[in-house]
Amino acid sequence: MHLKGLTEECHLVMRLNESQRCFFIRNTPDCNQDGGFLNYLETAFCLFPTNLLPLAIFFYVLWLLFLFIVLGLTASKFFCPNLSAISATLKLTHNVAGVTFLALGNGAPDVFSAMAAFSRPQTAGLAIGALFGAGIFVTTIVAGSVSLVKPFTVASRPFLRDIIFYMAAVFWTFLILYKGQIHLGEVLGYLCLYVGYVLTVIISAYIYNRQKHFINGPLQNGSNHVPDLQSDTDESSSLPNSGIQDYEYQPLLTCTESTSQIFLKSLNPVDIRKWRRKPWYWRAFKVIKVPIEVILLLSVPVVDPDKEDRNWKRPLNCLHLITGPLICVLTFQSGEYGLLYIQGGFPVWALTLLIGLFLCAIIFWSTTNYQPPRFHFLFSLLGFLVSAMWMNTAATEVVSLLRTLGVVFSLSNTVLGLTLLAWGNSIGDCFSDITIARQGYPRMAISACFGGIIFNMVFGVGLGCLLQMIAHDNMVKLQPEGLLVWVLAVALGCSLAFSFILVPLQCFHLGRPYGAFLLLFYAVFLLVALLTEFGKITVG
């Protein structure tokens, strides 16, 4: 049978007969998958029989959870430590490092997911839904949970500063969606907004330090009056400790380990002492993560400035000179460039392998096992690049998977972004912020809530659109998927407006009633969003 409308949206495939779906997927331009290693749509509708489509969806959901684990693990264990090492090497202050490298490390999954979604017009709705959905989730669920766990008085000026800048970023995004397009000047202005935020943080910290120094002067002369400036600080001099400290036990007699022993020990991601005191569910989750950690350990170097040897593992770091560049070449653009041939005869990946072997041999024979070389800090740059490529690859697969689930279940990209993608990228931040609040650091937790999402919004939209402009045109079209996008924008705007008005009215004290109000607000928003998605709420 001749199929009409091959330029229609890919969601129409579920309206066709079972025998027509595979042909529709292969011949509809909207169903093409530009990035990623697997074509999930073609696999689901062409490789699996129709009666086994639920089984394919089950495997896809498991694979989606696995990719979220890869994203979170790569960001926390490899991306963030290397960013910390880079900031330490550059000797950045805590303020600058916190709003630049630390913000990038904490928001890496969101930023990379948004960049992967913006790379294709078909999935741009995923990025909008994820960024707006994550913003609502963090400012309501996470902030509300912190208020319920540990009522406290928030730092007034930093709180208002973060709220104002985030409202400006949301309003800018709202205008772009209303216009339906974004130009190069607007993208650069988007990025300049974050530069202004960074400068504001630095200047406010400088003013606070000057005031503190001025007030501490009379104290040295015997004054007993101590003005309270602590309420306006957003920097903490100490970080929260874990419930049980990990002590490094030093053996009485030191022994020299061989190169092979160092290599095998550096590939072991399990701490036996921690394993023994953890509950069974932690151990079960650890068993799932061990294969991922081993693969990442084999390919991503990590530099730790806090250790005496800066985490120098000579045999493993030499291997990283081979595996790291190979991973970058084979994951960039899904291996499109790594599989090319130089002058039609020599593949790019083979040339990368030879260069890596050459560097590996030089470093191995010119260094020792127990003394890191002077150029060891360069491994943090390699680790940053390789971990970024791993996260970009996982984020691209997540976006492709979510689009496939949207086609199968007839869901818009926006609702998938504000639910699955936003939850998957934000759930780790939720648990970590609640843990920090329980340990007595609620101000640090609430600062992470609002400071990180500013970076995610600005760089998620800004860099995503900028990369698409570089690859295609000087203008990116953003077509909102119906009423749901405006529900998202209004809900996020109301959430920020409530925080901007209600928190100062409470003298900046966040108590349990306010936390319960934020949780109720998110429940109402989610209900309205789902009713809008399924056509129960319409306009006109």
Distant-in-sequence contacts of 196-199, Cβ < 8 A, 24+ apart: 196/165, 197/99, 197/165, 197/454, 197/458, 198/96, 198/99, 198/100
Cα(7)–Cα(31) distance, integer angstroms: 9
Distance separating the N- and C-terminal Cα atoms of the chain? 38
Is-contact 297 324, C-beta < 8 A? no
- 314: closest CA among 324, 326, 301? 301
Is-contact 304 376, C-beta < 8 A? no
Q: Which amino acid is at 383?
A: G
CA geometry: angle 268, 272, 273, nearest 5 deg = 140
Q: Are residues 397 and 334 in the same domain?
A: no
- 510: closest CA among 139, 220, 194, 227? 139
Cα(368)–Cα(363) distance, integer angstroms: 9
Q: Are residues 359 and 437 in the same domain?
A: no
Q: What integer pLDDT is reported at residue 295 of this predicted model?
A: 94
Q: How many domains does the chain have?
A: 2
Question: 493 is written with which tokens?
Answer: 């705007």
Q: Is residue 250 part of a domain?
A: no
Q: Are residues 297 and 318 in the same domain?
A: no
| Residue at token pair 């540990």 | 150
For 81-97, give the DSSP string. HHHHHHHHHTT--HHHH
Cα(524)–Cα(57) distance, integer angstroms: 29
Q: What integer pLDDT is reported at residue 220 of this predicted model?
A: 53
Q: Are residues 140 and 274 in the same domain?
A: yes
| Domain of residue 98, CATH code | 1.20.1420.30
Q: Are residues 189 and 60 in the same domain?
A: yes
Q: Are residues 356 and 481 in the same domain?
A: no
Question: What Cα–Cα distance (Å) separates residue 517 from each residue in 20, 140, 488?
Answer: 50, 9, 18
In angstroms, how far is CA 1 from the centroid of its own chain? 46
Cα(31)–Cα(135) distance, integer angstroms: 29
Among candidate residues 342, 371, 400, the one where a domain is terminated: 371
Helices (H) and strands (E) in the chain, counts: 22, 6
| Residue at token pair 């504001």 | 200
Cα(13)–Cα(30) distance, integer angstroms: 11
Q: Is residue 367 part of a domain?
A: yes
Q: What integer pLDDT is reported at residue 226 of this predicted model?
A: 43
Other CB atoms closer than 10 Å to residue 138's CB: what's the count? 23
Cα(114)–Cα(132) distance, integer angstroms: 11
Residue 68 is part of which domain span? 51-210+256-306+375-534
Cα(523)–Cα(151) distance, integer angstroms: 21
Cα(453)–Cα(457) distance, integer angstroms: 6
Check residue 441 and report its DSSP letter: -
Question: 326 is written with which tokens?
Answer: 């190979």
Q: Is residue 419 part of a domain?
A: yes
Q: Are residues 320 and 430 in the same domain?
A: no
Is-contact 166 457, C-beta < 8 A? yes
Q: Which amino acid is at 3?
A: L
Is-contact 118 108, C-beta < 8 A? no
Question: 392 is written with which tokens?
Answer: 């970009």
Q: Is residue 474 part of a domain?
A: yes
| Residue at token pair 């030191």 | 254
Within 270-313, residue ranges assigned H as helices are: 272-277, 280-299
Q: Is residue 156 part of a domain?
A: yes
Q: Are residues 350 and 396 in the same domain?
A: no
* Extended strands (E) in 201-340: none
Question: What Cα–Cα distance (Å) separates residue 462 from each residue in 187, 391, 458?
Answer: 5, 18, 6
Cα(193)–Cα(173) distance, integer angstroms: 12
Q: Is residue 339 part of a domain?
A: yes
Q: Are residues 100 and 155 in the same domain?
A: yes
Is-contact 453 101, C-beta < 8 A? no
Q: Is residue 90 part of a domain?
A: yes
Is-contact 531 537, C-beta < 8 A? yes
Q: Are residues 295 and 328 in the same domain?
A: no
Cα(537)–Cα(487) distance, integer angstroms: 11
CA geometry: angle 466, 469, 475, nearest 5 deg = 110
Q: Are residues 423 and 440 in the same domain?
A: yes
CA geometry: angle 486, 489, 494, nearest 5 deg = 125
Is-contact 396 334, C-beta < 8 A? yes
Among candidate residues 345, 371, 397, the one where a domain is terminated: 371
Q: Is residue 540 part of a domain?
A: no
Q: What integer pLDDT is reported at residue 476 of this predicted model?
A: 72
Is-contact 443 152, C-beta < 8 A? yes
Question: 313 is written with which tokens?
Answer: 């593992």
Cα(84)–Cα(81) distance, integer angstroms: 5
Q: Which secondary-structure segment (H or E) carries 449?
A: helix 442-471
Q: Are residues 398 and 276 in the same domain?
A: yes
Is-contact 475 469, C-beta < 8 A? yes
| Residue at token pair 């109402």 | 524
pLDDT in tens, the chain (540 residues): 344 434 347 888 888 888 888 888 888 887 877 667 888 988 888 888 888 888 999 999 999 999 988 988 888 888 878 888 887 888 776 556 666 666 666 667 777 777 777 777 667 777 788 888 888 888 888 888 888 888 888 878 888 888 888 888 888 888 887 777 788 888 888 788 888 888 888 888 778 777 777 776 655 555 444 444 444 444 433 344 333 344 444 444 455 778 888 899 889 888 888 888 888 888 888 999 999 999 999 999 999 888 888 899 999 999 999 999 999 988 887 777 777 877 767 788 888 999 999 999 999 999 998 888 988 989 999 998 899 889 888 888 888 888 888 888 888 878 888 888 888 777 766 776 777 677 777 776 677 666 677 777 887 788 778 877 776 667 777 666 678 888 888 888 888 888 889 889 988 888 889 889 999 999 999 999 888 888 777 765
Buried b (16+ CB within 10 A) or exposed e, 163-186: bebbbebbebbbebbeeeebeeeb
